[in-house]
Structure 1
Amino acid sequence: MRIHLTSVFVDDQEKAHRFYTDVLGFRTKHDVDMGGGARWLTVVSPENPGGTELLLEPAGHPAVKPYRDALVADGIPATQFAVDDVHAEYERLTAAGVTFTQGPVAMGPVTTAVLDDTCGNLIQIATEAPEPA
């Protein structure tokens, strides 16, 4: 068994698509009109185009807003993305205008930072320290 697809709820699929591709650097995998203004819109890492897809899922269900509002209020990220260097990615994204709610913080073997995806979610980026030789 392996993870094939995961999702984040987004307020506006087109805005989310621009942010996740133009700013974060993901690539579009699927963009299928589902009718009613919704799309099956997934992105993937350019480093692993056949890997796990992230569905930018419309946030229309009534349970989504209170759930996401509670996560954001408590500073809890909706998901986490691995990066090679949190500090470098923080600098790159900050220069691109991305808002971070938490700058890079070392937490044992991992360094994390938390950004606002502009579509209703906090997203954590993380780098694990290399295994000791």
Structure 2
Amino acid sequence: MKIKLASVFVDDQDKALTFYTEVLGFVKKSDVSVGDYKWLTVVSPEGPDDIELVLEPNVNPAAKTYQTALFAQGIPLTAFFVDDIEAEYARMTALGVVFRKKPTKMEWGSFAIFEDTCGNHIQIQQV
């Protein structure tokens, strides 16, 4: 058994694709029309391209409630790992990314939390 897909609910798939590729640096892998929505995935250029992040349209009321509650509480939906959190923070800040928590050192490493423009807080970590 292995992880192949993980999902991030987004309020606008096109906006999400722009953010996740042009700001975060992921690469679009799948973009297939499925009625009013798309099967839209991105992969990390630094990892295997068989582990995909689905930019899933948030049209399910239960999912929207969950997403809204997490966002209101400042809880990150997921975490991405980086090699140099200070450099990534500086790069992303220069691109206009809104950080809710600046890089913070812990005993296990460092983390920061930002908004993905699509209704989520995302955490970056350096171990």
Tell whether the structures are fold-level matches, with TM greater than 0.5.
yes
Runs of 4+ in structure 1 deviating by more than 3 angstroms, as ranges, are none
Q: TM-score if structure 2 supplies the norm length? A: 0.96
Q: Considering only aligned residues, what root-mean-square deviation do their CA atoms show, in Å?
A: 0.9
Aligned to 1:16: 16
2:11 maps to amino acid: D
Q: TM-score if structure 1 supplies the norm length? A: 0.92
Aligned to 1:61: 60
Larger radius of gyration: 1
Aligned to 1:109: 108
Tell me, yes or no, if structure 1 residue 3 matches structure 2 residue 13. Answer: no
Rounded Cα–Cα distance in structure 2 between residues aligned with 1:99 and 1:49: 28
Aligned to 2:119: 120
**Structure 1 unaligned residues grouped into runs of 5+:** 129-133
Summarize deviations over 1:72-92 as a string: whole Å, max 9, x none.
121110000011111110000
- Secondary structure of the structure 2 residue equivalent to 1:78: strand
Aligned to 1:131: none
Summarize deviations over 1:9-64 as a string: whole Å, max 9, x none.
000000000000011100001110011x2000000001124241000000000112
**Structure 2 unaligned residues grouped into runs of 5+:** none
Rounded Cα–Cα distance in structure 1 between residues aligned with 2:14 and 2:8: 14
What is the number of equivalent residue pairs in this alignment? 127
Summarize deviations over 1:74-121 as a string: whole Å, max 9, x none.
111000001111111000000000000000001211200001000000
Rounded Cα–Cα distance in structure 2 between residues aligned with 1:56 and 1:10: 6
